[in-house]
């Protein structure tokens, strides 16, 4: 009862928080209006802000270039330059894995040729993933049971509820976004929490109610992650356990070999009331170095040892 009642109080508090309707908040609500109401996880990447950061050139010539190659056919067919025209991307997922691997992705495109994009996407109808252009500036992809739901939302019939109508998720997304380059927000499903309680191995994890986090790149890197639990005791227990894992990871051979140990040293993890807060701040030089290391690690994992420097 304590677990559920504590979560309910904070859920009500979050739902009544006032959020100024800024340009980014309005854009978020437009996107959420295309997301099915049973979504529980939302993440977003703001490429406009990323392009304005000092790190954009390094990202565009490294990880960004690699990603663009994966979508080369899509770019040619729709006429969209992914690195220059995509303004932001939002991805939504259900709180628990489903057999149909349902998801929704909304991308806002600058100077979208809607007729060309629609024609190319229509030719590929009937596959596992449905894709279409809508609103003159957005491309929407959906899979599984969400294909029909997203299509109905795009038609703005009004009969299909969307994530924008779910006050708790909408407010959590607005709270997490706050004009960050990259952010994520998640509501932990009650069914999953009950399952964790039944197992009884990690009761502190079972009292997780919400998670959110963000990353910003500028004069340096700033990342934060917040886990909200139903009570302060579980938050302190979880913080102690995560700090123990973090200390072990710092000395793990893989972390030492790839040069990530110094960055793990910079992570700060504390319990504050019913929340566990993790933060990482790096100056510009270290920010560029850690991105290069991640890029090399991904290349080695996806393309084989010969691709690694």
Digit-coded pLDDT (tens) for 187-214 = 998 888 887 777 766 777 888 999 999 9
293 or 250: which leads in pLDDT: 250
Task: Give residue limits of the domains in the chain.
Answer: 1-178, 188-309
Q: Mind listing the pLDDT tens digit for each residue in 65-122?
A: 666 666 778 788 888 887 788 899 999 999 888 888 899 999 999 888 888 887 887 7
Range of lowest pLDDT (21-25, 84-88, 246-250): 21-25
pTM of the model: 0.80
Q: Is residue 225 pLDDT above 60, yes or no?
A: yes
What pLDDT does 299 receive?
66
pLDDT category, 19, cuts 50, 70, 90? very low
Which residues make Cβ contacts (< 8 Å) with residue 213, sequence separation at least 6? 176, 183, 184, 223, 224, 225, 226
> What's the whole-number mean pLDDT along residues 302-309?
49
pLDDT category, 219, cuts 50, 70, 90? confident
What pLDDT does 125 receive?
62
What pLDDT does 293 receive?
77
What pLDDT does 169 receive?
94
Q: Is residue 306 pLDDT above 50, yes or no?
A: no
Residue 251 to residues 292, 300, 308, Cα–Cα distance (Å): 21, 22, 23
Q: Is residue 228 pLDDT above 80, yes or no?
A: yes
User: Which residues share a beta bridge with 52?
Assistant: none
pLDDT category, 2, cuts 50, 70, 90? very low
Q: Is residue 12 pLDDT above 60, yes or no?
A: no
Q: Is residue 236 pLDDT above 90, yes or no?
A: yes
What is the average pLDDT value for the chain, to the nearest integer? 82
> What's the whole-number mean pLDDT along residues 55-66?
69
């Amino acid at each position: 009862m304590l677990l559920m009642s504590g979560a309910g109080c904070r859920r009500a508090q979050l739902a009544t928080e006032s959020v100024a309707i800024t340009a980014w908040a309005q854009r978020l609500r437009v996107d959420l209006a295309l997301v099915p109401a049973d979504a529980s996880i939302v993440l977003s990447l703001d490429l406009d802000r990323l392009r304005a950061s000092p790190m954009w050139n390094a990202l565009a010539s490294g990880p960004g270039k690699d990603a663009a190659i994966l979508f080369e056919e899509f770019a040619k067919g729709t006429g969209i330059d992914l690195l220059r025209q995509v303004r932001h991307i939002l991805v939504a997922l259900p709180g628990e894995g489903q057999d149909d691997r349902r998801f929704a992705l909304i991308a806002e495109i600058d100077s979208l040729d809607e007729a060309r994009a629609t024609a190319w996407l229509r030719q590929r109808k009937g596959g596992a993933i449905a894709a279409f252009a809508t609103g003159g500036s957005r491309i929407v992809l959906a899979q599984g049971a969400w294909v029909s739901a997203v299509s109905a939302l795009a038609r703005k019939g009004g009969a299909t509820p969307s994530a924008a109508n779910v006050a708790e998720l909408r407010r959590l997304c607005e709270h997490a976004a706050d004009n960050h380059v990259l952010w994520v927000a998640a509501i932990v499903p009650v069914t999953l929490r009950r399952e964790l309680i039944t197992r009884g191995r990690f009761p502190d994890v079972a009292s997780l109610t919400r998670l959110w986090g963000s990353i910003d790149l500028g004069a340096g890197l700033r990342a934060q992650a917040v886990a909200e639990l139903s009570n302060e005791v579980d938050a302190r227990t979880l913080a102690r356990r995560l700090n123990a894992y973090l200390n072990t990871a710092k000395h793990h051979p893989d972390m030492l070999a790839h040069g990530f140990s110094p960055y793990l040293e910079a992570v700060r993890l504390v319990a504050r009331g019913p929340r566990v807060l993790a933060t990482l701040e790096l100056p510009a030089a270290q920010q560029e170095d850690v991105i290069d290391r991640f890029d090399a690690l991904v290349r080695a994992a996806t393309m084989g040892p010969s691709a690694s420097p």
